[in-house]
Chains A and B, each alone.
Chain A
Amino acid sequence: KNEVEQSPQNLTAQEGEFITINCSYSVGISALHWLQQHPGGGIVSLFMLSSGKKKHGRLIATINIQEKHSSLHITASHPRDSAVYICAVSFGNEKLTFGTGTRLTIIP
């Protein structure tokens, strides 16, 4: 069964802390996406990865194909980073399968 697991489900941290959110998947994929969803529902695509590492501002995403694992890191976290972060993968049948999301709260 094609599965995507995220951890932790909830994460609360102080402003400035380094944040890591993890995503594991069960079988080989063609691509992995990290998405951000703010209250109100809007979803923004942060990264799309098939190998290696990508960086955008304070956000870094890595993927290890052999271990079937990806991480999203946020450096110098800020209250505006508070959101739900969702990992989604494209398996061989090409449709996106989503993780359950990580609710991140950054306290000033």
Chain B
Amino acid sequence: KAGVTQTPRYLIKTRGQQVTLSCSPISGHRSVSWYQQTPGQGLQFLFEYFSETQRNKGNFPGRFSGRQFSNSRSEMNVSTLELGDSALYLCASSEQATGTGGAEQYFGPGTRLTVT
């Protein structure tokens, strides 16, 4: 099976712009989670989607949003970009929703976003 893919891999944006990142999960996986990784804060949970429904959301402002399509592909959007949004954005897919007895997460390679 193909692994989790994320596009684009690298992105440079200017403050105030918006950005959309895409994640294609492993075939058959219905759960997609998004994470932000920065040197200062480490890995932080953004949100999780399961069967097109948002199950969980982390402590991020409303500028961060996401959605999941019927084929389980997911997108996340960040509006009005700030310098502090520069980070590695990772998505992970799993067969089950994360909390259901725990589910192994398969991570994508990430999208490195730089905001200037």
Contacts and interface: CB of A to CB of B under 8 A. Distances in A.
Contacts of A48: 102-104
B54 to A, nearest CB: 11
> DSSP class of B's interface residues: helix, strand, loop or mixed?
strand
A83 to B, nearest CB: 13
Contacts of A76: none
A58 B40 CA distance: 31
Contact residues on B (Cβ < 8 Å of other chain), bracket: 20 to 34
A41 B92 CA distance: 13
Q: Chain A interface: which size bin?
A: 20 to 34
A90 B102 contact: yes
Nearest to A93: B56
Interface residues of chain A: helix, strand, loop or mixed (majority): strand
Interface of A: 30-33, 35, 41-45, 48, 50, 86, 88, 90, 93-101
A100 B92 CA distance: 19
Contacts of A100: 42
Contacts of B44: 98
